[in-house]
C-alpha cells in the first residue's frame, strides 16, 4: 500500500535525534533497574512476576497515554500551523498522512514501550513458563494502544484546534485511555482495553502467572468473550481508522461517504448483535453497561449528528448560487434519497409497531395502547422534523446522498425503544441499552419507568432534530434576505 511514509520519517527525525534522546533512554533504563532492585529488596517472594506486571502497566502507560498525548498535541499543532493543509496538497494518500502522524509523532513512546517490553520479557524468562501469554498480552496492549491513538487522531481532527491547544503540552484526548480501565469489571469484556490493568496487584500474580494472566485477560478464559473482545477492538479500530482517514482527505465534507456509511452501518449491526448476545447470557442487567454505552457510542453519535447537519459554507453556497443565477428557491427538492429513506423508515417504524401490538394478547394490548398512541404521534413529528432537516440542507444531501447515515441513526436511536415497549424482559432491556439516549436516561431513572424512558428517547430526538432544523433554516433565510438586498441595490 505504501512504499514509504515520509511524514513518519520526518517526525522520527525530529523526535529521535540522538542528542535529545539519550536522556530518555538512560532515564527509562535507570527506572527499570531501580524497579527490579526495590522489588527484590522488599522481600517479596514473587518479585519477578511483580516486575512483569509493572512492566506491562508501564507499557500501556507509554503507548496509550504517552502516545495519545503526543499524537493529540502534534496533530492539533499541525492543524494550527497549516502544515496539515500543506500535506493535503501533496499526492500523499490520506492513509500515508494518518499513519505517518501516528507512527512518527508517537515514535518516542514506541521506543519507551520497546524498552519496557524487553525488560518485562527478561523478567519473565526465569519463570520457566512459555513466553506465549506474555507476548499475547504485549500484543494486546499494542493493539489497544493503537486503537486509542486512532481515536485520539480522529477526535483531534474533528475538534477545532483551538480547543485542543489551550493547554499547551497535553491533549484532552488522553482522558480516554485513562478512563477506560475504570469501566466496571463485569462489563469489561465489552471494551477494547487491556483488562490486565484492573488486576495489577502482585498477589494476583503469585499462584500461577500464566493462569492468572489468561484469566484476567481473557475473561475467565471463556474464549467466546475473549474473541469478541478482540473482534471489538479490531472492528472499532478499523471504523475509527476509516473515519479519521476520511477527515484527512476531505476537510470540508461534513459527512462520511456512502461507502463509509455502509461500513459503519454494518459494523454497528455486528457490534450490537454481538453485544446483545453476550449480555443476554448474563443473569441480571448491569448498570455499568450503560456507562460503556454512553461513553463509546456517544462519540459515534456526535460524528453522526455533525454529519447530517450541513455546514454553514454549504448553505451559503446554495444561497449565493440561487441569488446569482436569479433562481427561485425551489419549494420542493427533487434529489433527496436521504429524505425518502427517512420517510420510508419512519413509516416502517409506525407500521411494525402497530402490527406487533396487534399480535399481543388483549390484556397486553390494553397495556401498551397508551404508549403506542404517543409513540405514533411522536414518530410522525419526528418524520416531519427529519424531512424538514433534509429539505433544509438539500444541497448537502443531494450532493453526498448520505441516506445511509440517517437510516443508521434512526435504526439505532428509534428501534430499540420501540421494541422495548413490546418486551419488558431482558431482551427488551438490552435492546434499550443499544439506544444511547435511552440507555443514558434509563441509567438515571428507576427501572419501573421503561415506557417513559423510551418515550423520552424519541421525544428528545425529535426536539433535537427540530432545533437543528430551526436554526439552520433561520440562518438560511436571513442570509437569503441579506443577499437579495445586496443585489437589489
Partner 1 sequence: MNPIIEVDNLYVDFDNVTAVAGVSFSVERGHIFGLVGPNGAGKTTLLRVLATLQEPTLGKVSITGIPLSDHAEPIRRKIGFMPDFPPVYEELKVWEFLDLYAAAYDVPRETRRARCTRELERVSLMEKREALVGELSRGMKQRLTLAKTLIYDPPILLLDEPASGLDPLARKQLYDILLDLRQEGRTVMISSHILSEMDKFCTAMGIMEKGKMVSAGKLSEINQEQGKRRVRVRLLEEDGVQQKMHKKFPGVKSTTLEHDRSWTVVLSGDDRTLAAYNKHLVTEGLEVCEFTPLKVSMEDILIQSGATHVS
Residue 189 CB, nearest distance to partner 1 (Å)?
42
Residue list 235-254, contact with partner 1 (CB under 8 A): 252
Q: Which stretch, 47-55, 258-266, 293-301, 318-326, contacts partner 1 (CB under 8 A)?
A: 318-326
Nearer to partner 1, 28 or 87 (CB): 87
Interaction between residue 270 and partner 1 (CB under 8 A): no
Q: Specify the residue, 15 or 375, whose C-beta has the smaller distance to partner 1.
A: 15
Identify the residue among 22, 86, 269, 306 touching partner 1 (CB under 8 A). Answer: 86
Residue number, 108 or 275, with CB nearest to partner 1: 108
Q: Which of 210, 316, 333, 424 binds partner 1 (CB under 8 A)?
A: 316
Site string for partner 1, 362-401 (x = CB under 8 A): ----------------------------------------
Q: Which of residues 88-127 bind partner 1 (CB under 8 A)?
A: 88-92
- Select 8 or 434, whichever has its Cβ closest to partner 1: 8
The footprint of partner 1 on this chain (CB under 8 A) covers a number of residues equal to: 27
Q: HEC string of the chain?
A: CCCCCHHHHHHHHHHCCHHHHHHHHHHHHHHHHHHHHHHHHCCCCCHHHHHHHHHHHHHHHHHHHHHHHHHHHHHHHHHHHCHHHHHHHCCCCHHHHHHHHHHHHCHHHHHHHHHHHHHHHHHHHHHCCCCHHHHHHHHHHHHHHHHHHHHHHHHHHHCCHHHHCCCCCCCHHHHHHHHHHHCCHHHHHHCCCCHHHHHCCHHHHCCCHHHHHHHHHCCCCCHHHHHHHHHHHHHHHHHHHHHHHHHHHCCCCCCCCHHHHHHHHHHHHHHHHHHHHHHHHCCCCCHHHHHHHHHHHHHHHHHHHHHHCCCHHHHHHHHHHHHHCCCCCCCCCCCCHHHHHHHHHHHHHHHHHHHHHHHCCHHHHHHHHHHHHHHHHHHHHHHHHHHHHHHHCHHHHHHHCCHHHHHHHHHHHHHHHHHHHHCCCHHHHHHHHHCHHHHHHHHHCCCCCHHHHHHHHHHHHHHHHHHHHHHHHHHHHHHHHHHHHHHHC
Binding mask of the shown chain, residues 440 to 479, with x at each position contacting partner 1 by CB under 8 A:
----------------------------------------
Among 30, 37, 85, 125, binds partner 1 (CB under 8 A): 85
**Span of 82-90, 114-122, 158-166, 443-451 interacting with partner 1 by CB under 8 A:** 82-90
Q: Give the residue with the Cβ less far from partner 1, 9 or 127.
A: 9
**Which residues are at the interface with partner 1 (CB under 8 A)?**
4, 6-7, 9-10, 13-14, 17, 81-83, 85-92, 252, 312-313, 316-317, 320-321, 324
Amino acid at each position: 500500500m505504501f512504499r514509504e511514509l515520509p511524514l513518519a520519517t520526518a517526525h522520527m527525525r525530529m523526535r529521535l535525534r540522538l542528542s535529545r534522546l539519550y536522556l530518555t533512554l538512560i532515564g527509562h533504563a535507570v527506572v527499570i533497574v531501580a524497579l527490579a532492585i526495590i522489588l527484590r529488596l522488599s522481600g517479596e517472594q514473587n518479585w519477578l512476576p511483580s516486575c512483569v506486571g509493572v512492566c506491562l502497566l508501564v507499557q500501556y502507560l507509554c503507548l496509550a497515554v504517552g502516545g495519545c498525548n503526543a499524537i493529540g498535541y502534534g496533530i492539533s499543532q499541525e492543524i494550527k500551523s497549516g502544515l496539515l493543509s500543506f500535506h493535503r496538497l501533496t499526492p500523499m494518500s490520506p492513509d500515508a498522512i494518518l499513519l505517518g502522524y501516528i507512527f512518527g509523532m508517537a515514535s518516542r513512546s514506541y521506543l519507551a514501550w520497546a524498552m519496557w517490553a524487553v525488560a518485562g520479557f527478561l523478567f519473565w524468562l526465569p519463570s520457566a513458563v512459555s513466553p506465549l501469554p506474555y507476548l499475547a498480552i504485549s500484543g494486546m496492549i499494542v493493539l489497544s494502544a493503537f486503537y486509542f491513538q486512532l481515536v485520539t487522531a480522529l477526535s483531534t481532527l474533528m475538534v477545532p484546534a483551538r480547543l485542543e491547544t489551550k493547554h499547551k503540552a497535553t491533549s484532552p484526548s488522553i482522558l480516554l485511555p485513562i478512563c477506560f480501565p475504570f469501566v466496571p469489571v463485569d462489563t469489561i469484556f465489552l471494551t477494547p482495553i487491556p483488562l490486565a490493568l484492573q488486576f495489577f496487584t502482585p498477589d494476583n500474580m503469585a499462584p500461577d502467572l500464566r493462569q492468572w494472566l489468561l484469566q484476567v485477560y481473557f475473561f475467565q478464559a471463556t474464549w467466546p468473550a475473549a474473541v469478541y473482545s478482540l473482534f471489538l477492538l479490531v472492528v472499532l479500530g478499523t471504523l475509527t481508522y476509516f473515519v479519521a482517514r476520511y477527515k484527512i482527505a476531505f476537510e470540508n465534507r461534513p459527512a462520511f461517504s456512502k461507502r463509509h456509511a455502509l461500513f459503519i452501518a454494518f459494523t454497528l449491526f455486528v457490534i450490537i448483535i454481538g453485544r446483545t448476545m453476550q449480555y443476554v447470557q448474563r443473569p441480571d442487567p448491569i448498570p455499568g453497561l450503560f456507562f460503556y454505552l454512553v461513553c463509546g457510542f456517544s462519540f459515534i453519535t456526535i460524528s453522526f449528528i455533525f454529519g447530517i447537519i450541513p455546514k454553514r459554507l454549504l448553505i451559503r453556497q446554495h444561497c449565493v448560487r440561487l441569488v446569482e443565477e436569479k433562481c427561485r428557491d425551489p419549494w420542493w427538492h427533487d434529489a433527496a434519497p436521504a429524505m425518502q429513506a427517512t420517510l420510508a423508515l419512519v413509516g416502517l417504524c409506525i407500521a411494525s409497531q402497530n402490527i406487533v401490538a396487534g399480535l399481543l394478547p388483549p390484556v397486553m394490548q390494553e397495556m401498551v395502547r397508551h404508549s403506542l398512541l404517543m409513540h405514533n404521534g411522536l414518530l410522525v413529528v419526528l418524520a416531519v422534523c427529519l424531512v424538514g432537516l433534509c429539505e433544509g440542507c438539500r444541497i448537502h444531501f443531494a450532493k453526498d446522498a448520505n441516506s445511509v447515515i440517517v437510516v443508521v441513526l434512526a435504526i439505532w436511536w428509534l428501534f430499540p425503544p420501540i421494541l422495548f415497549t413490546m418486551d419488558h424482559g431482558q431482551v427488551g432491556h438490552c435492546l434499550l441499552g443499544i439506544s444511547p439516549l435511552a440507555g443514558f436516561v434509563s441509567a438515571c431513572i428507576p427501572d419501573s419507568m421503561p415506557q417513559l424512558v423510551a418515550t423520552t428517547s424519541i421525544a428528545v430526538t425529535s426536539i433535537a432534530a427540530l432545533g437543528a432544523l430551526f436554526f439552520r433554516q433561520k440562518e438560511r433565510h436571513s442570509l437569503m434576505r441579506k443577499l437579495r438586498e445586496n443585489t437589489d441595490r
